[in-house]
Amino acid sequence: MIQKIKQAFIEKFGKHPILVKSPGRVNLIGEHTDYNEGFVLPAAVNKAIYFAVKPNGLDKFCFYSYNLQETYETSINSIEPCQKQWANYLLGVVAQFVNDGKTVPGFDCVFGGDIPLGAGMSSSAALECGLAFALNHIYTFKYSTLEMVKFSQKAEHEYAGVQCGIMDQFAVMHGKANQVIKLDCRSQEYELFPLDMSDFMLILVNTGVKHSLASSEYNTRRKECETGVELLRKYDASINSLRDVTLDFIQNHENEFDATVYKRCTYVIEENMRLQKACEALLNTDFTEFGKQMYGSHYGLKNKYEVSCKELDLLVNIAEKVDGVLGARMMGGGFGGCTINLVKKEAVETFKNQIIASYKTPEGETPQIIEVVIEEGTHLLNE
């Protein structure tokens, strides 16, 4: 893919660019914990967006999407959201550098990749981080990776209109091969944990269901969690989020809660506990225990947070019946998208065959099955 992007750039602009690889990401456990100041456990993967970028000496930015075969150009003095949605992710990044007082001269950019769209692998974060990294390198702005992460997140908020948390951009930029990132969404401190995948595969299975309910239900869940925090603050003013609440403490006040709010809050507290156990399991190379926590996460999301759907549940049920599948769960906001499955390598073909035999998308098609490998975050490639 990178050779195609490089070649397209040379044919279009007649010069040799710098090349950047910006990966997609998966999240192994820790769902809906980010906006509750909890923990997440993402990793960068081998599906990526590739960039070819070079200053052009002109007063314009020229973007070319290789996958869509579309061009967007704008003056360097006219950076604002446009009708072309994919261009907004890139313009939003340029805007962050400009808003921070930097002059961004005109440049040409060709990008394209193999991150499956609609699979919850954060192609938008890969797009933002890739361009931020390229511009920081070309113009020697000397921003840290965390500063570029924040620029990328703000680009998505302000230009794409998506109020995302920081996990996606953080994982895309900070990923390391054969390691997962335990990110503290409150402090933005992180630890790396080893994930030796020599005997295992991570496999995503796409339900083929679009997340039509995800945004409205996301806002509802967020409000329900805030309601729980407000109630508990009456008893302990130091509580700022569900991160500060123990299971014992909330259980002591169960009778004061609306039943739904109680389910939502206990899910978040238990999910943070599952993530801690999952990290301990990685340190002990105990993949059976890690998989058990993945299953626990799914059933918490299904029964307590109620963001699953029948297709996601069916895929997890199929996975549970296959020898050699250690863990499975829905990944992402919910109501569609993918499951993520931890599968022993000798069981991969059996698992795939079982999925194909037992599951069809709502359109009656074979589901997309995506094997992923944990790789480095956004980085410069040798030209």
CB atoms within 10 A of CB 210: 12
Which amino acid appears at position 290 of this protein?
A: F
3-state helix, strand, coil in the chain (%, to 5): 45, 20, 35
User: Residue 161 burial (CB < 10 Å; 0-12/13-18/19+)?
Assistant: exposed
Report strand pairing: 107-113 vs 42-55.
Answer: antiparallel
Do residues 87 and 56 touch, judged by C-beta distance below 8 A? no
Q: What angle, rounded to 10 degrees, do the helices at 123-138 and 145-155 form? A: 130
Contacts of 151 (CB under 8 A, 6+ apart): 93, 96, 97, 100, 128, 132, 143
Interatomic CA distance for residues 71 and 57, integer angstroms? 18
Which of these is catalytic: 168, 196, 236, 313?
168
Provide the token pair at 81. Answer: 């959201």
Interatomic CA distance for residues 237 and 235, integer angstroms? 7
Provide the token pair at 369. Answer: 């099955």
Which amino acid appears at position 62 of this protein?
A: C
Provide the token pair at 350. Answer: 């059996």
Interatomic CA distance for residues 53 and 88, integer angstroms? 17
Residue position matching structure tokens 């407000």: 230
CB atoms within 10 A of CB 217: 17
DSSP label of 67 = T
Interatomic CA distance for residues 289 and 30, integer angstroms? 15
> Is 168 annotated in the active site?
yes
Enumerate the active-site residues. 168
